Structure 1
């Protein structure tokens, strides 16, 4: 989805996709290689002037050519290192010092995740803020609760929206924590740091503003699995709220309506809650991607023979589809029309209990 230009805006993935383009991949890979040369120079493994030349060189990298050259070795780092070494002449030995392709690839993925997470989390938190605003405004607006899609007892729309905000807040907190915890990767050919030093790994992390690693995690992929789970939960939280909006916006209920509803090519009377609809569509794609990443955690021995390669496209897709769900939900909830009269028409039974107090608790906890 991140590269499907026609559909990316429709599914809301545009802001995240912009952080995951081919050019952004190349930039992240170069950022890691430049920082690695500098870290190695700081600890005497390569000449400082060579590291400076690498830092100052504007490498001409055509992403399409790099992609084609990646096929032989199975990853883009191998041809990128060749290109960089050819470009810096006698400083070639200072390119990629003590590293293996996975060190650069994994660390570049961490950089990309952090960059893509910025707009994703902004939209997730923006959707939560919009839900909280609805909860505050409609703290005491009564409506019928539905259980198993049947009329149950009265509640308030404020409590419904407070539940939305609580779920979105929790998903955003967990996702942010998982992203922030992703460390640098640097272990060398077999994860032993042969030909380098743990201090180089630490300096590399510092230069890239990443957490330091305890040990290389070439085939220990719990971090990627946990990130996948957090992204899936965030998508699910968005999908759940979007589902409520779609149901409450039905003609038969008409209790909410989007501020900018979609139309129909054949039925001009229709006002579709299209932002919520497309948020649901994006969220529905996430579980399969999460499952792929969890299934790919069984990396073999000291280098994954296939599972590692399966992560790259799957993770970028998952970032895009979760980001899309959050972006479209934020659009849906911002300016959402609430119709108390339509809600009141369907009320029967006792009062709304302690709904207002529960709303207050959610808003205070934020």
Structure 2
């Protein structure tokens, strides 16, 4: 289905079928390089696997069709990679492809690679949006407008404080995404790393046998505990090769990594949806306090200029939380039958939609037109009613209620005020509370974390 919010964005390209296939091949190549660094396979073998994986081109649609027999794309992909290594003159090396790994190791690692690459772009766009929103907040620190609660005029506020409110949400979600560790996955068939431990012991035994034979001594072999520790170190090397975090343990069946990523993306989409929603309401014909830079055309009404960018962002803010609900479902035993496989598509959509919304937000805020005069005029639509809270501190409540119950705008006569009340009591600019100072405080926090 068409999704204009992500169409043509950088994140869409980074999460394409081709990108996922490339990430799986990158995972296989990194595994070979890590095993060579650990002395499990030769450097020449790892280099051949690495070169072959880098050059291999796989048709994603065909791979998907062949995946039906294994319920996942790794089995046919490994077949293709082994065949390509054999054709490159490494028939003996082909058996070392995917050594000690399982399907979920490669696919989970690929998911983390795709996510890492996409999140880097998302956070960069958030940084750009934050800078633009901070500029809005600074420039309109004291621009008076009506705050609205339940859709109605409440008390006076400033557009700068509204923008600063957007800033706090975006800053929090950007920091959360930045700090989220995305680990590699390597556990073998059932999360015990048994195949790699056995391969490590066998390789150690072969090496030791060759050395001892040369000296005519008996072969002692490597203790199982020593081999296990070497494999745990290998996992760290694997993560390093990929630029991912080192996992505490294999997380095949413990899916909080995916759940936390989904929650962070969901929170980001919601934070982006807030300014979009406010702009939609403020850009209404009868309100006219801001306007987008987009053309906002209508297929039926030539006069319309719809807030198209805001609509796109808001649509993503609704969808991402729904997709995130499908992530990290509880699975059975050491590997889920269906729950894990169900994560792939919604995770990609979470990344794509959030990335599209972030990139669109930069365009929205960067081109936003603000009309302070219209904001002030809208405050005055209800006369002095926006300062009724202030009047309550100076007038008898019964008298104030009688005044407020009059038809039409509030026009308080001078003799209705306490003698000690200032004459400009009804000026909304005089009842902003700590709004400007709150803007300063939020901006200072932003600058400290930029």
Partner residue in 1 for 2:159 = 157
Structure 2, unmatched stretches of 5+, are 86-90, 197-230, 388-427
Partner residue in 2 for 1:262 = 296
Match of 2:440 among 357, 360, 365: 360
* CA deviation profile, 1:47-104 (whole Å, cap 9, x unmatched): 3221121112222322222111111011111111111112222211210111111111
1:79 aligns with 2:113: no
Judge conservation of contact 2:20–2:114 (CA < 8 Å) in 1.
yes
Could you tell me how far apart the structure 1 residues matched to 2:39 and 2:20 are?
Answer: 29
Match of 2:21 among 12, 21, 26: 26
Could you tell me how far apart the structure 2 residues matched to 1:265 and 1:28 are?
Answer: 41
Describe the SS at the equivalent of 1:211. coil
Matches within 5 A, 1:172-321: 172-178=174-180, 181-196=181-196, 197-294=231-328, 296=329, 298-321=330-353
Could you tell me how far apart the structure 1 residues matched to 2:82 and 2:93 are?
Answer: 7
Describe the SS at the equivalent of 2:148. strand
TM-score normalised by the chain length of structure 2:
0.77
Structure 1, unmatched stretches of 5+, are none
**Paired residues, number:** 357
Match of 2:102 among 100, 105, 113: 100
Partner residue in 1 for 2:360 = 328
Flag the structure with more relative contact order, 1 or 2, with Cα contacts below 8 A and sequence separation at least 6: 1
TM-score normalised by the chain length of structure 1:
0.94
What's the offset of the Cα at 1:44?
A: 2.6
Describe the SS at the equivalent of 1:300. coil
Where does structure 1 differ by over 6 angstroms across 4 or more consecutive aligned residues?
none
Answer with 1 or 2: which has the greater Rg. 2
- CA separation of 1:250/1:60 partners in 2, compared to 1, >3 Å: closer, same or farther? closer
What's the offset of the Cα at 1:119?
A: 2.0
Root-mean-square deviation over aligned CA pairs: 1.4
Match of 2:369 among 326, 337, 355: 337
Could you tell me how far apart the structure 1 residues matched to 2:148 and 2:3 are?
Answer: 34
Partner residue in 2 for 1:54 = 49
Describe the SS at the equivalent of 1:144. strand
Partner residue in 2 for 1:68 = 65
